[in-house]
């Protein structure tokens, strides 16, 4: 039930619920990965089942694909879709320019490909994800397993000349073994604390041999839908320069909550 949700989960839910209203019949929609994106998939699934919404979803990870199929969304590949009308995804951090850090869920490569193959990208997040400057959240880099320790050393050496506060780099683990992405790669998390020049850092990191992609999403996001624990929602449009305030009410018998709590 909705009363059992924590304030942060309520914030994620209202952001996802409000963002789902941007999805129209017949759209090809990129479906993000992570806890907030999972709320979105649930909301869209309810719209498919209850309202007859017809969309085709392109998931950014195997777990999102499984959830989308479970809730009744027609899942296709990006190659089948070729181009998307809209992608909705979460973020680990976003700033006032709607620059993002993504990849905490381990799907940054597919997420970036899908987002850049869309007419529009909307980010959904709770208010706790907003920062004045990116970098408090570790920046993920997807790297190939071959020679990853050499790649790590090159990254740390390169960071010496970058405008960052920290240079500690760690291999993401899954228990006692290295984490593998859907593409069979590893993730190195860069604990930078503060990123002074995100554009320069993104460009330089992607030039290092072994690095597949980084988790900085720059000039990709068009809108951010920010949720609060009391049901308030802000829709910030970077292109129009507008901020819209809305509020969503919670219903104790909401089918979506009931499904989630099962």
111 is annotated as an active-site residue = yes
* Count of beta carbons in the 10 Å neighbourhood of residue 237: 14
26 is in an annotated binding site: no
User: Which residues is 177 bridged to in the sheet?
Assistant: 174
Neighbouring residues of 20: CB distance < 8 A, sequence distance ≥ 6 = 40, 43, 44, 47, 88
- The answer to the question of whether 106 is labelled as a binding residue is no
Is residue 231 part of an annotated ligand binding site?
Answer: no
135 annotated to bind ligand = no
Q: Which of 46, 93, 111, 213 is catalytic?
A: 111
- Confirm whether residue 34 is marked as ligand binding: yes
Residue 112 annotated as binding site: no
For 93-176, list the strands marked E by DSSP.
93-94, 100-101, 121-126, 139-143, 168-171, 173-174
Q: Is 105 annotated as a binding residue?
A: yes
Whether residue 235 contacts residue 223, with contact meaning beta carbons closer than 8 Å, is answered with: yes
Whether 64 contacts 16, CB under 8 Å? no
User: What kind and span of H or E run contains 183?
Assistant: none
| Distance (Å, whole) CA 115 – CA 218 | 11
**Residue 103 is labelled as binding a ligand:** yes
Instruction: Round to whole Å and give the CA distance between 169 and 208.
Output: 15
82 is in an annotated binding site: no
- Annotated binding-site positions: 33-36, 89-92, 102-105, 129
List active site positions.
111
Binding site for substrate: what residues are annotated? Answer: 33-36, 89-92, 102-105, 129
């Amino acid at each position: 039930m909705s009363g059992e949700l924590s304030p942060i989960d309520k914030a994620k839910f209202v952001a996802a619920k409000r963002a789902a209203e941007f999805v129209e019949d017949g759209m090809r929609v990129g479906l993000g990965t992570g806890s907030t994106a999972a709320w979105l998939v649930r909301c869209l699934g309810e719209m498919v089942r209850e309202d007859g919404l017809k969309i085709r979803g392109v998931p950014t990870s195997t777990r999102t694909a499984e959830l989308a199929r479970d809730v009744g969304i027609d899942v296709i590949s990006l190659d089948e879709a070729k181009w998307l009308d809209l992608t909705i995804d979460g973020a680990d951090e976003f700033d006032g320019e709607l620059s993002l850090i993504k990849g905490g869920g381990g799907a940054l490569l597919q997420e970036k490909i899908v987002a850049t193959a869309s007419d529009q990208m909307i980010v959904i997040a709770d208010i706790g994800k907003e920062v004045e400057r990116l970098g408090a959240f570790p920046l993920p880099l997807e790297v190939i397993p071959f020679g990853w320790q050499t790649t790590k050393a090159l990254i740390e050496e390169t960071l010496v000349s970058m405008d960052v506060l920290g240079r500690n780099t760690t291999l993401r683990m899954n228990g006692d073994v290295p984490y593998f992405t859907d593409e069979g790669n590893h993730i190195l998390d860069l604990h930078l604390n503060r990123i002074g020049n995100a554009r320069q850092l993104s460009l330089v990191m992607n030039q290092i041999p072994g690095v597949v992609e980084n988790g900085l999403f720059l000039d990709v996001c068009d809108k951010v839908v920010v949720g609060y624990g009391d049901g308030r929602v802000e829709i910030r449009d970077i292109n129009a320069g507008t901020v819209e305030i809305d509020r969503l009410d919670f219903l104790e018998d909401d089918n979506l909550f009931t499904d989630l709590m099962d």
